Amino acid sequence: MKPNFRNVIILGVALIPLALIIAAVPQNQIKPFKLTAEQMVQMVNQKEHFYSADAVADMLVQKDPSLQLIDVRSPSDFEKYSLPGAINIPLADLLSEQYEGVLNQDVKVNVFYSNGTLQANEAWMITRQLGYLNNFVLEGGLNYWFETIMNPAEPKSTSPDEEFAKYDFRKGAGQALGGGGGLSTESSAKPMAPQAPKTMITPKKKKAAGGC
């Protein structure tokens, strides 16, 4: 089956900044795990790296301990608003050794998110190229999260029962997670929902050479 042309364009745009970041990784780290363009397009087409907003909302409401949300936006954006329990690993710092233990493990399911999906997709591509398999992306990002979970639109009276069931779930989940709010763009979104608790990662201190 031929790759979806729209996904190929999206992939091409995402690979430009990805190439700049990957260039900083030592070659012997990425060579054994590097995916071909065809493999990457296939994964994008199949959307196997996405977690839906509904799935993440359900895991948050259920307080699923296996979920680890990773906000790849800037620290300033993270401080303005983040999803409950999320940690902040800015995209620019993704290759820092201090985060390897978080990104390369099989205990928790890491779900990257940004305002849209561009930065989160870049984070997924980088970690996938490094051979880290337990990382995913919040489908639609925070923009879609606010549209569907925090401010779901009520179905028309003629909608099927499934749509009403989905609406009831989203409305309940949104209320449980703080309710209301909105974001606009990948780079300049200004959330209006109540702030979630912040969890920052503290860099590991390296031991000084010599001494006891």
DSSP character for 93? G
**Domain locations in the chain as residue ranges:** 49-200
| Architecture (CATH level 2) of domain 49-200 | 3-Layer(aba) Sandwich (3.40)
Tell me the average pLDDT of the chain. 78
Residue type present at position 210: G
Paired sense of beta strands 87-88 and 109-113, if any: unpaired
Report pLDDT for 212. 40
Q: What is the pLDDT of residues 97-116, one digit of tens each?
A: 999 999 999 999 999 999 99
| pLDDT (average), residues 54-77 | 97
Report which of 139, 76, 72 is spatially closest to residue 102, judged by C-alpha positions: 72
Phi, psi (5° rounding) for residue 67?
A: -90, 130
Q: What is the pLDDT of residues 140-188, one digit of tens each?
A: 999 999 999 999 999 999 999 999 999 999 999 999 998 643 343 343 3
Spatial distance between the Cα atoms of 38 and 8, rounded to a whole number of angstroms: 10
> Global pTM?
0.72
Report pLDDT for 76. 97
pLDDT category at 36 given cuts 50, 70, 90 is confident
Q: What 3-state DSSP class applies to 50?
A: strand
The answer to whether 149 touches 170, Cβ cutoff 8 Å, is: yes
Percentage, residues of the chain above pLDDT 90: 59
Report which of 82, 119, 27 is spatially closest to residue 195, judged by C-alpha positions: 82
Helix 53-61 vs helix 161-176: crossing angle, to nearest 10: 50
Q: What is the CA radius of gyration of the chain?
A: 19
Paired sense of beta strands 135-138 and 87-88, if any: unpaired
